[in-house]
Structure 1
Amino acid sequence: MKQFIIIIAAIALAVTAPARAQALVDPNKVAPEYREAAEKRRAEQMRQRECALKADLDKVLPRDRTVYLNHCLDTLAVKQ
């Protein structure tokens, strides 16, 4: 019985789809009244991705990643 449950659990894990990252917002694919908000969201997503890439390149530990990303985003906000 125990082996049967383990086999079922393994099959369930193998069949599930991997989680996807949130796709970039495309302002051209939203209704005109929401385009400005979509453009702002896309700009924010690009800043977040840029900081995440910097964190990867600097090999920031997972425990320090949030602090690093917040500092990076704050630095980018000051520059603009």
Structure 2
Amino acid sequence: MKQFMIITAIALAVTAPARSQALVDPNKVAPEYREAAEKRRAEQMRQRECALKADLEKVLPRDRTVYLNHCLDTVAAKQ
């Protein structure tokens, strides 16, 4: 049992933490996909901006989805 605990502790220490999806870089994709990459990056930036607003306003986790959807709709209406 002691060996199992040691192996588990080592395995947890070695694994890398999960990271969120990286921003798309339109310059690193093939030219035929660049327009789609630019659109995806713009969407990711809007999502991050709304998530930051939610963090700053300390939105509760249960209300976060509604807040983010409302924020994204508001941003889309402005454009």
TM-score by length of 2: 0.89
Q: Does 1:30 align with 2:29?
A: yes
Alpha-carbon displacement from aligned partner over 1:15-71 (angstroms, at most 9, x marks no partner): 110011111111111111001000000000000000000001001111211111111
C-alpha separation in 2, matches of 1:33 and 1:3? 53
C-alpha separation in 1, matches of 2:76 and 2:16? 36
- Tell me which stretches of 4 or more aligned residues in structure 1 moved more than 6 Å: none
The alpha carbon displacement at 1:2 in A equals 5.6
Q: When the two structures are aligned, how many residues end up with a matched partner?
A: 79
The alpha carbon displacement at 1:7 in A equals 2.5
C-alpha separation in 2, matches of 1:33 and 1:20? 28
Identity %: 92
Gaps of 5+ in 2: none
